[in-house]
Structure 1
């Protein structure tokens, strides 16, 4: 079936490394801190979906006419962002994606309107172009859309990945993505053709419980899967609010989901390991997180997909 009609594109995945590098074989782009989405645009409508194929336009009604920015029928791979003072705010975009009240969604859309930053095109006119090299797809992308306040095309630099990374660090952005110029678009696959270099490390973790602390502080108990075993990964307190957590569905249980009580967790309130959160920390080779900061909850990833990263 035609991939435009099927509406089930799986985004190409990105490998991770800690150090930026220079290479004439790669282009380098800013890594925008939002929700990865695929949009299907034609002269009638826009159909935007996240990585779990959840339809997103009902949560971002200000993008209903995004298809008017497309000159031709196309499929875009892009980041869905909400900017505050010119900087992406992940909490704002993710909290919107989890709202259910249409009135609150409309208010949020007016206060902090969303936009997209397109960095790839998979379909041009009536043709699947995922088998073309990236650098050719970039040319088609620039020809396919008209930029405005709803849609921007990601700019890139050649050769100078380290220099871009240092500039991104100064601006306190998330990092960069290096992409091999000759790379094809492999749906749902992770290769070294696309590599992210991040200023801070991000980890997706399962919320396994929480501990109420003094001064209305809350500490989340974190876990990740190592194969089928849920592994204890410590706590995150900075940035956590139980009020925010209570906006999401979770079930309190009377036992530790790890099968034992890790040291220092005697006062824990345990929850069924289903809610996923993002933890930002300084890069480290250790099992625990260094200076962890809670970044937000997410619904585009299952708990079982939160795995311990291989060394």
Structure 2
């Protein structure tokens, strides 16, 4: 069946790599702090969906006409983001993704309008492009999109990954993504052909509880899965607000969801392990987080997908 009609595309995944590198066999792109989305575009309209196939257009109605910027029927892989003070703001786009009130959505869209940046094309005028080398897909993408304030094409540099990484670091950006120039596109697969080199390490964790602290501070109790068992991963306090949990909703439970609970959690309020969050920290060889910062809730990932990295 035609995937344009069936939808449900699961994008290619990106592997982790801490250290930036140079190579003539790779291109390098800035990593944006947004929501990965698939855009289905033709003369009849725009359909934006996240990795869990949730329709995003109701949250970002300002993007309803980006199909008019496309020269032919296509499916694009890219990032939905919001700029705030000249920087991509993950919390702002996640907050928008939660909104249901049309009036509030309209206000937010005027204050911080969303944009979609495409970095790959996987369907072109009825034909799949996934078996083509990356640079051929980039050429088709370039010939397909007419850029404006709401849709654009990601820029890349060749060979000089270290220089781009250092530039990203200087601008307090998340890092870069390196892609092999001959790489094909594999749905829902993580290969070594696409890797991210990040200034800060990020982990996806399950929120298992919270602890109220002095000065109206709150710490979240975190967990990840290891061989099917939820294990304790520590706390995050910086960037945390109970308002975020309230926005998403949570259920209090009577006991910890871990088999073993380390000391320091005696005053925790345990919650059903249903919410996934992003935690940013300084890179470390240890299992615990170093200077962790709460980056936001992500609703495009399930709790059991948050696994301990070996």
Alignment TM-score, normalising by the size of structure 1: 0.98
Q: Using the TM superposition, give the Cα deviation of residue 225 of structure 1 relative to its aligned residue in structure 2, in angstroms.
A: 0.5
* Partner of residue 195, structure 1: 195
Say whether 1:246 aligns with 2:278: no
Say whether 1:151 aligns with 2:146: no
* Partner of residue 43, structure 1: 43
Q: Any stretches of 5+ residues in structure 2 without a counterpart?
A: none
* Partner of residue 91, structure 2: 91
**Structure 1 segments (4+ residues) deviating >4 Å:** none
* Partner of residue 127, structure 2: 127
Partners of 1:309 and 1:200 in 2: CA distance = 16
Partners of 2:303 and 2:106 in 1: CA distance = 30
Partners of 2:225 and 2:166 in 1: CA distance = 33
**1:225-274 CA-partner distances (Å, limit 9, x unpaired):** 01211010000001101122211111001101003332100011000100
Q: Using the TM superposition, give the Cα deviation of residue 112 of structure 1 relative to its aligned residue in structure 2, in angstroms.
A: 0.7
Partners of 1:287 and 1:117 in 2: CA distance = 34
Partners of 2:85 and 2:124 in 1: CA distance = 33
Whether the 8 Å contact between 1:98 and 1:299 is mirrored in structure 2 is: no
Say whether 1:266 aligns with 2:299: no
Q: How many residues align?
A: 310
What SS class does the counterpart of residue 104 from structure 2 fall into? helix
Q: Any stretches of 5+ residues in structure 1 without a counterpart?
A: none
Say whether 1:15 aligns with 2:15: yes
In the TM superposition, 1:72-91 aligns within 5 A as: 72-91=72-91
Partners of 1:204 and 1:219 in 2: CA distance = 16
Whether the 8 Å contact between 2:231 and 2:259 is mirrored in structure 1 is: no
In the TM superposition, 1:220-235 aligns within 5 A as: 220-235=220-235
Q: Using the TM superposition, give the Cα deviation of residue 98 of structure 1 relative to its aligned residue in structure 2, in angstroms.
A: 1.3
Partners of 1:263 and 1:289 in 2: CA distance = 17
- The farther-off stretch of 159-168 and 95-104 is 95-104
What SS class does the counterpart of residue 110 from structure 1 fall into? helix
What SS class does the counterpart of residue 165 from structure 2 fall into? helix
* Partner of residue 105, structure 1: 105
**1:21-74 CA-partner distances (Å, limit 9, x unpaired):** 111110000011100000000011011110001111011111111101101101
- The farther-off stretch of 103-112 and 291-300 is 103-112
Say whether 1:137 aligns with 2:137: yes
- The farther-off stretch of 158-167 and 97-106 is 97-106
CA-atom RMSD in angstroms = 0.8
Alignment TM-score, normalising by the size of structure 2: 0.98
